[in-house]
Amino acid sequence: MDEQVLQAERFEEHRPRLRGVAYRMLGSLHEADDAVQEAWLRYSRTDTSGIENLGGWLTTVTGRLCLDMLRSRASRSEEPLEWHVPDPVVSPADGADPEQEALLAESVGLALYVVLDTLAPAERLALVLHDTFAVPFEEIGAILGRSPNAAKQLASRARRRVRAAETTPDADLAGQRAAVDAFFAAARRGDLAALVAALDPDVTLRADGGAAGLSALVGGAAQVAGRALMFARPDARVHPALVNGAAGVVVTVAGRPVSIMAFTVTAGRITAIDALGDPTRLASLRLPAFPS
């Protein structure tokens, strides 16, 4: 078999893991694909015959690329949107396909990616590569140009920030779905008291409507419930889905997606809602088919 074909086949074996690394690092599906494509180009131009652990080498290359992209993103000093929701991975309510499972890489909901976006690039790399992909701190330190102990400290600091944000949802997916269903049932009835009851008192709503849309950060059960009633649309259809492995919905109007909503449910109550309503980004996502 042609050597180029063999090389391509070897790379494809690692692509799902590399895409998972890049998505976890960048929170953007498009940028993740760009990073993996660049990793392929570097691999195709490199003599890897002496590399014993090709998967580890490719993971390191992808990590470096993502680190550069994060640093470039930070250095542009662009005026941020009022709130940014990372790209969601949307699956049918009955489960993700194998490719999405690899992409999620033990994810525990979209809210985790919101927290990851607040980390410094080096912290994010250290946490993601070590905690999710088991890359040793010796290798992480080499990527960062720091000692293994310094890389370990970066990961520890990032881990504390993630844990403090309480992004882990209830493990019971059926329980998550029951809380989300109760939320929408109350919204359809216009029942403010029932909406508040479905929400944790300290619930946070993060809405990202894009550059031309309505973006907001709202906190507190009464405020979030009031916003849900204010923006309820009688012509909207709510389709249950998995969003980054947790209970969520895709909202459509006349068959067109207008919002993806991810919910974090803890102890039976909704503690966070992350809503993406940016038309441009919604159009770029690969979504399951929903009835109109």
Q: At what angle do helices 148-164 and 137-144 cross, to 10 degrees?
A: 100
Q: Would you say 91 and 47 are in contact if contact means Cβ atoms under 8 Å apart?
A: no
Give the count of alpha carbons within 13 A of 279, CB side only.
Answer: 6
Return the structure tokens found at 166: 């309480």
Domain definitions of the chain by residue range: 3-81+115-164, 173-284
Assigned architecture for domain 3-81+115-164:
Up-down Bundle (1.20)
* Helical (H) or strand (E) element with 237: strand 236-243
> Quick one: fold of 173-284?
Nuclear Transport Factor 2; Chain: A, (3.10.450)
The C-alpha atoms of residue 234 and residue 62 are separated, in whole angstroms, by: 45
**Model confidence, pTM:** 0.87
pLDDT values of the chain reduced to their tens digit, one per residue, 292 residues: 577 788 889 999 999 999 999 999 999 999 999 999 999 999 999 888 888 899 999 999 999 999 999 999 877 655 454 578 899 999 888 876 666 666 676 666 788 888 898 899 999 999 999 998 999 999 999 999 999 999 999 999 999 998 887 667 788 899 999 999 999 999 999 999 999 999 999 999 999 988 766 778 899 999 999 988 877 778 889 999 999 989 999 999 988 999 999 999 999 999 999 999 999 999 999 888 777 6
> Which of 203, 204, 28, 16 has the alpha carbon at shortest distance from 117?
28
